[in-house]
Amino acid sequence: MPFTRETLFPGVDCTTVSARVVAGKVEGILNMYNPSTVAIPSWGTPYSLAALAWCLRTATPAIVMVDSNPEDKPRSMIAEWLKRRIVGKFGAGLACKTDYLSALGMPKTAISLGYNVVDNRYFAKGADALRASAPALRQARGLPRPFLLAVARFVPKKNLNTLLEAFAMYCHGKPAELDLVLLGDGPLRSELELQVHRLGLDGRVHFPGFAQYDALPTWYAMANALILPSVIEQWGLVVNEAMAAGLPILISSRCGCADLLVENGRNGWHFNPLDPAVIAARINDLATLPDQGKAFGMRSRELITDWSPATFAESLGQAAAVAEQRRQPASIFDRIMLHMLIPRLRGEE
């Protein structure tokens, strides 16, 4: 179905723009389109609060879309109280789980599930078209062996330092079965490269750089499995992508999607991201799977079919119907609160 996409600040990082300017742009675009319902990602940015304020002023049903979890980070009583006030102004929620929105006071009957999805068909079709030529593709990129793939920004919460420690444990005293590819870039790249050298992993760990969206199916086709070792991860959409491409998954138990998408011993394994010995054991389990984990990859594809764009569309429609029935009134206090918070919040969830 065709739609119009408006970019408020083309080519500009909106976090560098004044919150008041962001809020003004959001209000302007909503005035122009005058939507019947507004679905708002998150509750803790200038654009999300500005959109909510517009909905309250115009009596427009509002849906909050979130993937936050209670255990993502330490929570303060004051911040949680503010969030309860803000969440209470939304008529419905679209989330990955009911836990956090419910804890913030939204009735479970007002929460639809199915927020974090990807275009499964795109990744499945792209990977399948290339999988037969995976050995040649690896050789062309200087990757002589099958490999475990991590797709991540090189930042602390992705926990790549611990992954390297675990991979060194896995490699110790055994033939070279799997390499490790860290696909991405970020401020920790130099530190990670030095750690690879210090651990004696030169030639076993590869840094091909950042890959654009259209290149990802190629990497999934070449890989034996995906690993996501994050210590903080609200969801982990790379897991959706890799599962659609038919890969086994090794995943940190702290990732929001772990218990919903990965079945231990059937399409992958969970692990404690703070214990490199456990991660090493899971890598070894993967390396010894018969037929390179084909059955695990097939199970991944079966599981991810329930998390599709069609699922998202249906859930959003349900949320819109609920929000219409639960339009929330706004007090003067609520409007003042939002006005004061807009310049202060930058992605707090």
Strand (E) or helix (H) holding 120: helix 120-131
- Closest C-alpha among 116, 110, 14 to residue 69: 116
Asked if residue 68 lies in contact with residue 62, where contact means CB atoms within 8 angstroms, the answer is no
* pLDDT computed for residue 68 by the predictor: 82
Strand partners, 271: 252
Specify the pTM.
0.90
Task: Please state the φ and ψ torsions of residue 221, each to the nearest 5 degrees.
Answer: -65, -35
The stretches in the chain having pLDDT less than 50 are 346-349
* pLDDT computed for residue 233 by the predictor: 93
What domains, with CATH codes, occur in the chain? Answer: 14-116+308-341 (no CATH), 120-304 (3.40.50.2000)
* pLDDT computed for residue 138 by the predictor: 93
Total number of residues shown for the chain: 349
pLDDT tens profile 288-338: 887 768 999 999 999 999 999 999 999 999 999 999 998 877 777 777 777
* pLDDT computed for residue 245 by the predictor: 98
Cα–Cα distance, 163 to 129 (Å, whole number): 30
* pLDDT computed for residue 316 by the predictor: 96
Cα–Cα distance, 119 to 239 (Å, whole number): 12
Using only C-alpha atoms, the chain has a radius of gyration, in whole angstroms, of 22
Those residues with Cβ within 8 angstroms of residue 181's Cβ, 6 or more apart along the chain or in another chain: 143, 147, 148, 149, 150, 205, 206, 208, 219, 223
Under DSSP, is residue 110 helix (H, G, I), strand (E, B) or coil?
helix
- Closest C-alpha among 233, 234, 171 to residue 201: 171
Question: What is the bridge-based pairing of β-strands 225-228 and 249-252?
Answer: parallel
* pLDDT computed for residue 347 by the predictor: 43
Those residues with Cβ within 8 angstroms of residue 114's Cβ, 6 or more apart along the chain or in another chain: 94, 307, 311, 312, 314, 315
